[in-house]
Structure 1
Amino acid sequence: MRGEPSCPKCGGRVRAPGLFADSWQCDIHGTVHPLQPVVPPSVEALGVVVGRTHVPVWMPWPLPIGWLFTGVACAGDDRNGGRATAVACSGPGPLGGVGELILVAEELGVGLGARYAGLPGPDPGSRLCVDKPPDAKVLAAGRPTPLWHVGGVPGDRAVFAGEARGLWLWAIVWPELSGLLLYDEVVLTDLREAGAEIDLVPCGALSPRILS
């Protein structure tokens, strides 16, 4: 993902707007919101994404004990702003070992959440059974937000999805048993509203998950 924009759905190369198209184009998926290159996690990198996006930048805040911010990605361009964001965090898993979490906020059809979930996408579709009680609940910007298991994902992860602020909210967790994190009521903050507290975010090494 690093170096130049890519397709948020497949990671392939994209063509910039030009003479024959006024939007970014992927040879496979057509018009897309380009995924910008991922840079090492820092407060400055987080601030760039926060400043340009039109969708939330969700992060558990305060972070669980021992957890660190380990990467951020944004799909969109300078003309239209960010249409999807992904924030990675890593720390001690609830059953030992290292747990990793990616939170994605996106508009309908962008496909970034499905990509991290390991699904063809672009949205959860029939894999999300909202006719039953939710499998997890988070508090997103002060509002109780139900999340449901997404079926058909690779066995190394647990995937939850729901709706927050009229947009998709995905939570992808590695390994699968680290999904237990979502059974406690996790508090999510939209970092666009964090103000000076964003300077307090502890940063770790770049997660390979957000590059995959």
Structure 2
Amino acid sequence: MRAAPICPRCRGPVAPPNIWSSAWTCSTHGEVCPLRPPRRPCREGLEATRAEARVPVWTPWPPPLGWLVTGFADAGDERSGSRAVAVALSGPSPVGGPADLILVAEEPGIGLGASYAGLPGPDPGHGFGTSAPDAKVDIGGHPLPLWALPTAETAAFAGEALGHWLWAVLWPVSAGALMLEDLRLRDLREADLDLPYGAACPRLGA
């Protein structure tokens, strides 16, 4: 497992703050919120994530049948806190076979959700949200619309929740059928849940 922060957009190396700049910088994307090494899927990993989070820490609750929480990742530093948080889950795809889901909450411009989805820009892009939504999740009893994004190797959906981007990225593409189920999201900053944990998801740091 890597030990150094990387760019949340291209996964390249980042330079730490210095006497000339207080920001982390990527040679390609300039100032970025560094993506820190993934946290283990366990209670300690959750607590460390919650302590740093400045955005929601979303998870489906109850989880889909057979699905387990398989790790946490965040982008930020000790000064800013985590301005993007990813929660990974793994389980059986509704159409058969194993699947992975990463839920990301982030401030605009961070680019973590887009990078998991395989998109070039930091945000969903031009024309996003102008058509009928492709899926919905429930947050606090309110339906939140999500729109499918044009990706090749993932099923990716995005929307806005509590003033932040919400991304749902699934592997393989066929696992996108999971978003047609009744998913109810809870913010783990505000809910002390007995989460089921599984083996660490390698996609979090990729």
Pairwise TM-score range, normalised by the shorter structure: over 0.9
Following superposition of structure 1 onto structure 2, how do residues 114-193 of structure 1 map, counting pairs within 5 Å? 114-126=114-126, 128=128, 130-151=129-150, 153-154=151-152, 156-193=153-190
SS in 1 for 2:203: helix
Shift of 1:211: 2.0
Cα shift readout 1:149-186 (whole Å, capped 9, x = no counterpart)? 111x12x3211001000110000011111111111231
Query: What amino acid sits opposite 1:50 in the alignment?
Result: R
When you count helix as a share of all residues, which structure comes out higher? 1
**Structure 1 equivalent of residue 198 of structure 2:** 204
TM-score relative to the length of structure 1: 0.93
| Distance in 2 (alpha carbons) for counterparts of 1:64 and 1:140 | 16
| Distance in 1 (alpha carbons) for counterparts of 2:142 and 2:50 | 20
RMSD: 1.3
**Structure 1 equivalent of residue 16 of structure 2:** 16
Structure 1 gap ranges (5+) = none
| Distance in 2 (alpha carbons) for counterparts of 1:2 and 1:86 | 17
Contact 1:127 1:150 in 2 (8 A): no
**Structure 1 equivalent of residue 72 of structure 2:** 72
SS in 2 for 1:104: strand
Identity %: 52
The number of residues matched between the two structures is: 206
| Distance in 2 (alpha carbons) for counterparts of 1:123 and 1:31 | 16
Contact 1:141 1:190 in 2 (8 A): no
| Distance in 2 (alpha carbons) for counterparts of 1:141 and 1:14 | 37
Structure 2 gap ranges (5+) = none
Q: Which runs of 4+ in 1 moved over 2 A?
A: 140-143
| Distance in 2 (alpha carbons) for counterparts of 1:39 and 1:191 | 15
Shift of 1:127: 5.9
Contact 2:118 2:154 in 1 (8 A): no
Shift of 1:18: 1.1
| Distance in 2 (alpha carbons) for counterparts of 1:3 and 1:94 | 35
